[in-house]
């Protein structure tokens, strides 16, 4: 025999709609919480926007390095010009020297004393070229001497820059650590109270008329703390999350164990009562749902059957599960208020009607 679901269709629809309202409400809270949590760093001065290598002392050192680089570039330009001139002078000197050697060879061969003045003139011309070459070399040496102190000063400034950067990194790391700690504390100041209120709602307000909205808040609080907060957690934030998770799990486990013990004690107390009293505690809708799940409404244990035998009574607590209509003898669920075949009220309803006072 198919069990009849005791929950009315509109009631099931309302429950589904209320679950949808809870989820939508949670979604909006999650979206708002994500925006608030993500924008919290804006209330703090952005330490990380100023790199460790961007302090006033380092900037002063780098300005001096740039000035040295500009001066060295000017010297290098002059050196390049002087080296080009030296190369040209050396070529002229080499050419003149070769010409002079050829001419001297010819002069020696002819031994003409009238050419002695020309020898002297050619010698002076060659010496002048050599002197010009030496002058350019001296200018190059002076420029290189000017460049050497600049290189030494730049090397010293580079060392100073590296030292300043090395000294600035720990200070920046400390500043960033405290900034992260303050922002993290602000985030926890928002999410932890949400989680605490959600826990209170679960413990105290599950029977409230506004529980569907509270349920949405609970879903949002749990999601924001354990999911949305994760991308913003610093390295030490995971400890907070896991510690809170452990505390909540322990609290939930303690609550469930305590309630399970209370439930078992209550069930033992109820099962010790008369069947009529136990039946009075079970509503029709609750009985229909449990019978549809093949569970006894009196003791919540599975309904046992043996072969083709009909289970009219619970083998655990003895509660009547099925009886027969006293009018048409149709077998029906004992919690039916009316016979499904002839519509005759059940014995319980007849008894209630007979003992109810007559209207005035």
pLDDT tens digits, 132-164: 888 888 888 888 888 888 888 888 888 887 877
DSSP structure class, residue 327: T
Helices (H), the chain: 9-39, 56-110, 116-204, 211-223, 237-271, 275-281, 284-292, 347-355
The whole-number pLDDT of residue 35 equals 74
327 and 207 together in one domain: no
| pLDDT (0 to 100) of residue 353 | 43
Q: What is the count of structural domains for the chain?
A: 2
The answer, yes or no, to whether residue 269 has pLDDT greater than 80, is: no
* Same-domain check for residues 223 and 155: yes
More confident residue, 83 or 173: 83
Same domain, 209 and 326: no
Same domain, 226 and 299: no
Question: What is the distance between the alpha carbons of residues 346 and 275, in angstroms, rounded to a whole number?
Answer: 16
Distance between CA 151 and CA 143 in Å, rounded? 13
Asked if 320 and 176 sit in the same domain, the reply is no
- Is residue 147 situated within a structural domain? yes
The tokens describing 120, both together, are: 């002297």
The average pLDDT across 42-63 equals 64
Among 210-219, 242-251, 254-263, 264-273, whose mean pLDDT is lowest? 264-273
Q: Which residue has the higher pLDDT, 36 or 233?
A: 36
Strand partners, 338: 345
What is the overall mean pLDDT for the chain? Answer: 75
Grade residue 4 by pLDDT with cuts at 50, 70 and 90: very low
Q: Which residue has the higher pLDDT, 199 or 279?
A: 199
The model scores a pTM over 0.85: no
- Measured in degrees and rounded to the nearest 5, phi and psi for residue 51 equal -65, 165
Q: Are residues 186 and 292 in the same domain?
A: no
Asked if residue 1 belongs to a domain, the reply is no
Q: What is the mean pLDDT of residues 101-110?
A: 61
Predicted pLDDT of residue 39:
67
In this structure, the answer to whether residues 223 and 310 fall within a common structural domain is no
Mean pLDDT of 263-286: 74
Query: Are 224 and 284 in a shared domain?
Result: no
Domain span including residue 108: 8-233
Query: Are 298 and 173 members of one domain?
Result: no
Domain annotation covers residue 252: no
Distance CA 349, CA 331 (A): 17
Tens digit of each residue's pLDDT (9 = 90 or more) over 46-55: 544 445 566 7
pLDDT score, position 345: 87
Read off the pLDDT of each residue in 219-229 and give the average, rounded to a whole number. Answer: 78
pLDDT for 360 = 37
Residue 256 lies in a domain: no
In terms of domains, do 190 and 299 share one?
no
- 126/198: higher pLDDT: 198
Average pLDDT, integer, range 16-34: 78
* Within a domain: 250: no
What pLDDT score does 257 carry?
Answer: 84
Q: Cα(333)–Cα(324) distance, rounded to whole angstroms?
A: 8
What is residue 115's predicted lDDT score, i.e. its pLDDT?
53
| Boundary of a domain, candidates 200, 233, 266 | 233
Q: Is residue 3 part of a domain?
A: no
Domain co-membership, 110 together with 165: yes
Query: Residue 77: inside a domain, yes or no?
Result: yes
Confidence of residue 351 (pLDDT cuts 50, 70, 90): very low
Give the pLDDT band (50/70/90) at residue 340.
confident
Do residues 188 and 86 both lie within one domain? yes
What is the band of 350 on the pLDDT scale with cuts at 50, 70, 90? Answer: very low
Q: Which residues contact 30 (CB under 8 A, 6 or more apart)?
A: 220, 223, 224, 228
Is residue 72 situated within a structural domain?
Answer: yes
């Amino acid at each position: 025999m198919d069990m009849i679901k005791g929950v009315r269709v509109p009631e099931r629809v309302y429950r589904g709609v209320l679950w949808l309202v809870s989820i939508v409400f949670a979604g909006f809270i999650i979206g708002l919480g994500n925006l608030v949590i993500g924008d919290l760093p804006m209330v703090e001065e952005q330490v990380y926007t100023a790199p460790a290598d961007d302090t006033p002392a380092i900037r002063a050192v780098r300005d001096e390095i740039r000035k040295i680089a500009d001066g060295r570039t000017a010297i290098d330009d002059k050196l390049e010009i002087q080296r080009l001139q030296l190369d040209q002078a050396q070529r002229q000197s080499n050419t003149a020297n070769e010409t002079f050697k050829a001419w001297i060879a010819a002069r020696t061969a002819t031994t003409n004393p009238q050419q002695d003045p020309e020898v002297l003139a050619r010698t002076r011309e060659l010496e002048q070229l050599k002197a010009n070459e030496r002058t350019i070399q001296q200018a190059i040496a002076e420029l290189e001497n000017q460049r050497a102190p600049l290189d030494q000063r730049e090397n010293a400034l580079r060392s100073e820059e590296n030292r300043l950067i090395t000294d600035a990194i720990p200070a920046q790391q400390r500043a960033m650590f405290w900034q992260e700690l303050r922002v993290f504390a602000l985030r926890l100041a928002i999410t932890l109270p949400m989680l605490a209120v959600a826990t209170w709602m679960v413990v105290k307000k599950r029977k409230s008329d506004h529980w569907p909205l509270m349920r949405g808040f609970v879903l949002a609080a749990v999601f924001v703390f354990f999911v949305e907060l994760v991308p913003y957690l610093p390295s030490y934030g995971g400890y907070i999350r896991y510690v809170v998770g452990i505390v909540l799990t322990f609290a939930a486990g303690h609550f469930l164990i305590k309630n399970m013990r209370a439930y078992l004690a209550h069930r033992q107390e109820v099962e010790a009562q008369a069947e009529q009293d136990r039946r009075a505690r079970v509503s029709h809708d609750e009985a229909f749902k449990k019978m549809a799940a093949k569970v006894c409404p009196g003791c919540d244990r599975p309904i046992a059957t043996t072969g083709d035998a009909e289970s009219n009574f619970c083998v655990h607590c003895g509660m009547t599960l099925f009886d027969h209509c006293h009018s048409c003898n149709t077998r029906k669920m004992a919690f039916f208020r009316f016979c499904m075949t002839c519509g005759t009220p059940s014995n319980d309803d007849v008894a209630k009607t007979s003992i109810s006072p007559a209207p005035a």
